[in-house]
Each structure stands twice: as structure tokens, then as C-alpha cells.
Homo-oligomer: A and B are copies of this chain.
Amino acid sequence: MMITINIIGTGNVAWHLANHLAKNSECILLQIAGRSKEKLERFKHLTKEVVVIQELKQASITIIAVADDAITRVASQIPEMDTLIVHTSGSVSIDRIPQKRKGVFYPLQSFSKHDHVDFSAIPICIEASYEEDVQRLYNLATRFSTKVHTIDSHQRKQAHLAAVFVNNFTNHCYTIAQELCEKDNIPFELLHALLEKTAQKAIDHAPSDVQTGPAKRNDKEVIKEHLDMLQEEDHKSIYNTLTASIISHYGKKL
């Protein structure tokens, strides 16, 4: 079944969605809408037409891929027509779209500009207010990925919160590790194998089954030495907070 699509937005998510759809023979990317002519220029080869929102014509699904706080405003500007309007955000409720036929198409991944994106490995969380639209979104999602999950707005927000721990917070721990290495002229590459293995183990096992380290052992001597070595206040407070949490998780009190 051929699916017609419009995309609103010219950021990273819009870019990767448009590139994937342009290559799919069972989808037609009718229009891409944005405010900036300059940014739309990049998208011209991917679609039949680049337009402003007010010029959007009917498509089976209209995807809003813009910043979270712009979703409602952008949705309100879509000309009245019979189309399923979805946003792509993890943390925004379906109800921020004022139209009746609304939904969510949330690829659970962190997108950067220059990265190549292989959607087949990326889970897609979908939700819609009408059962036929859930089916419509499911058909679209299976053209991206084999991992399609129907979850409600509450679960999606919770998954997004969990994603903050898995992505944003771990990446910041990597950043601090790199700073600690650079301070003493240690190449950060020294930690690459450990970094990779840590992720792989958490996938192969439950992460709580493979926790190691001074906090897990409640090794006060090493913990004290580490705190003495850390010079930045925010490094110290991250070390303290995570160490206290690990100690309390594994049942040993300081």
C-alpha cells in the first residue's frame, strides 16, 4: 500500500526521516514544510515540493518534526484537511496536537546532523487516538524498522526519561572521563575498549548483574582517594551522588 507523507521541519529528525522516506518505494514524500528557505534548500532533492506550512496539501500522514515547544503552534498552522498529524517527540503528550486525528511517531534514538542513520535497528514507538490511525502508523513504522512498539503517552514519557539516563547521563560521564584523562596526558582511547564492553555487557546481561567497582564493593579507601583526586566541584558531586546510590542499591551502607 502506497503511503503519502508530508514532513514539517528542517532539523536532524526531519532530515533523517526524509532521507529514509525518499528511498522507500512504497512511500511518497509529497511536501516538506519549513520557515527557512535556506534550510529547505537542502531537502529539495528528497521531495516533490518544499513549501511553507500554510501551503501544505493533503497527505495520508503529516509528520511534525520540530522542537518540543513548537509542536502545538506548528500543528495549529496546518490547513484544515483529513490527515493524521503526528509528532516525533519522546517527551510531549499526544494531546499537544489540537486536531482530532493525532498521533506520535517516536524513533527512540539520538540523532546528530552528520551521522548516517540505519533505521532498521531503531525502535519506533507509535500512538494514535483512533485505532485505524494506529494501524496506519504501524504500516509506516514497519517501513523503517522491525522494532515497532505501540505505547501510550505515559509510557513514552517514561521511556524518554529512561533514555536520558542511558544516553545523556552516560555520555556526560564519558565527557568527564575524557577530561580526567586529558589532565594527566592519558589518551582517552585507553578507555575505548572498556566503554564498548560496558555497553555490550549491559545488553547481554541485566546491568545490575554486572555492576563492579569501589562503590559496589563499598571500598572506602579507594572512594576517599578518588574524591581527593577530583578537583572540580561538579566532578566530586557526581562521584558522591552516584557512589551513594550504588552503595544503597547493593545493600551496603556507608
Contacts and interface: CB of A to CB of B under 8 A. Distances in A.
A53 to B, nearest CB: 23
B166 A225 contact: no
Contacts of A222: 68, 91
Interface string A230-249: 10001101110110111011
- Copies of this chain, whole number: 2
Contacts of A151: 186
Interface in A190-208: 190-203, 206-208
Interface in A152-182: 154-155, 157-159, 161-178, 180-181
Interface in A33-79: 68-69
Given A203-B192, A248-B234, A211 B175 contact: yes
Nearest to A125: B190
A194 B202 CA distance: 12
A143 interface: no
What size tier do the contact residues of chain A reach?
Answer: 35 or more
A186 B158 contact: yes
A245 B249 contact: no
B178 A206 contact: yes
A183 interface: yes
A69 B207 CA distance: 26
A216 interface: yes
A109 interface: yes
A147 B193 CA distance: 10
A110 B197 contact: yes
Interface of A: 68-69, 91, 108-110, 112, 115, 121-123, 125, 147, 149, 151, 154-155, 157-159, 161-178, 180-181, 183-187, 189-203, 206-208, 210-216, 219, 221-222, 225-226, 229-230, 234-235, 237-239, 241-242, 244-246, 248-249
Given A162-B180, A170-B170, 16 more contacts: A110-B210, A110-B212, A122-B193, A123-B190, A149-B187, A149-B190, A157-B225, A161-B229, A162-B186, A162-B191, A163-B177, A164-B226, A170-B198, A174-B207, A175-B207, A175-B208
28 contacts: A108-B194, A109-B193, A110-B197, A112-B210, A112-B212, A121-B193, A123-B189, A149-B190, A154-B184, A158-B229, A159-B181, A159-B186, A161-B229, A162-B176, A163-B191, A166-B195, A168-B215, A171-B207, A171-B210, A172-B215, A172-B246, A175-B207, A175-B208, A175-B249, A195-B199, A195-B202, A234-B241, A238-B245
